A and B are shown apart, each in its own frame.
Chain A
Amino acid sequence: MAFGWLPGAVGDIAHGAATTILLIAVTTLAGTLLSILGAAGRRNGPALLRRAIAWYVEVMRNTPFLVQLFFIFFGLPSLGIRLDPILAAMLAMTLNMAAYTIEIVGAGLDAVPHGQTEAALALGLRPRQVFIKIVLPQALKIIYPALTSQIVIMMLESAVVSQIAVRELTYEADMLQARTFRSFETYFVVTLVYLLMSMALRRLLVSGGRRALGAGVS
Chain B
Amino acid sequence: MIEFTLWDIVRNLLLAARWTVLLSLAAFVGGALVGMAVLFFRIAKNKWSRRLASGYIALFQGTPLLMQLFLMFFGLPMLGLRIEPWTAAVLGLTFFASAYLAEIWRSGVDALPLGQWDAGASLGLHYLQELRLIILPQAFAITRAPTVGFLVQLIKSTALTSIIGFEELVRTSNAINNATFEPFKVYGLVALIFFVMCFPLTQYARRLEKRAAAH
Contacts and interface: CB of A to CB of B under 8 A. Distances in A.
Most buried by A among B59, B67, B78: B67
Interface stretch (B69-77, B124-132, B133-141, B207-215): B69-77
Contact of B183 (A1, A63, A70, A177): A70
Contacts of A74: 177, 183, 187
B195 A59 contact: yes
Contact of B63 (A61, A75, A156, A160): A156
B162 A71 contact: no
Contacts of B163: 66, 160, 163
Given A64-B157, A66-B162, A184 B66 contact: no
Interface residues of A, number: 40
Given A183-B74, A187-B71, A194 B64 contact: yes
Contact of B202 (A62, A152, A170, A184): A62
A85 to B, nearest CB: 15
Interface string B56-86: 0001001111111011001100100000000
B187 A184 contact: no
A67 interface: yes
B198 to A, nearest CB: 4
A66 B162 CA distance: 10
Contacts of A188: 71, 75
A70 B174 CA distance: 9
A77 B184 CA distance: 9
B113 interface: no
Given A64-B194, A66-B159, A66-B170, 8 more contacts: A58-B202, A61-B202, A62-B194, A66-B160, A68-B191, A79-B184, A187-B70, A191-B64
